[in-house]
């Protein structure tokens, strides 16, 4: 079964996104050799079943904590077919450096601009199409707590899998 990893800083909605994709079914276990918890579940996207991995929060591919090391190891050793980088749209400028690191490492990234409702309330407008063209990856705007944008995300995952996996 192909894998999709969910990555991002703490408090950006990774677990809510995981629950949206998996229907909230998860097995939580410690990563081998650590006390760090990793959630895994299954999701049907299009006609295919995927293993979804909710990784611990990370700020960089250069780990300074055990959680970041576990997340990096999952990305590099388990080789997911797609990596959903979840970012808080209100703080996009602080979150894009990790996106760039993931891309520079040659990883299969889909950028998910989450918490778009709060960003809009604050007057932050993000041109998703321009960002897609600039980064040369799929970019999706979501509000994981309400499910807004989840259909678009699932479609982007299907396109990504057909093109790259």
Lowest mean pLDDT among 3-7, 11-15, 34-38: 34-38
All structural domains of the chain with their residue ranges: 2-164
pLDDT in tens, 88-118: 999 999 999 999 999 999 999 999 999 999 9
CA–CA separation, 8 vs 112, rounded Å? 10
* Closest of 58, 53, 158, 46 to residue 98, by C-alpha: 58
- Report in angstroms the alpha-carbon separations of 106 from 80, 101, 145, 149: 12, 9, 30, 26
Q: Is the pTM of this model over 0.85?
A: yes
Give domain 2-164's CATH number out of 3.40.50.1370, 3.10.310.40, 3.40.50.300, 3.40.50.800: 3.40.50.300
Average pLDDT, the chain: 92
CA–CA separation, 31 vs 65, rounded Å? 14
pLDDT in tens, 86-95: 999 999 999 9
* Closest of 139, 69, 61 to residue 101, by C-alpha: 61
């Amino acid at each position: 079964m192909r894998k999709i990893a969910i990555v991002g800083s703490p408090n950006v909605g990774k677990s809510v996104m995981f629950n949206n994709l998996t229907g909230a079914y998860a097995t939580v276990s410690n990563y081998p050799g650590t006390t760090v918890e990793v959630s895994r579940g299954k999701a049907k996207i299009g006609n295919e079943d995927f293993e979804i991995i909710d990784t611990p929060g990370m700020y960089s591919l250069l780990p300074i904590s055990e959680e970041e090391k576990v997340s990096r190891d999952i990305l590099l050793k388990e080789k997911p077919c797609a990596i959903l980088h979840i970012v808080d749209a209100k703080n996009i400028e602080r979150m894009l450096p990790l996106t760039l690191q993931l891309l520079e490492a040659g990883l299969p990234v889909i950028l998910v601009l989450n918490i778009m409702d709060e960003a809009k309330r604050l007057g932050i407008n993000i041109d998703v199409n321009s960002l897609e063209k600039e980064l040369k990856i799929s970019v999706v705007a979501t509000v994981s707590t309400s499910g807004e944008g989840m259909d678009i995300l699932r479609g982007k995952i299907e396109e990504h899998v057909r093109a790259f996996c």
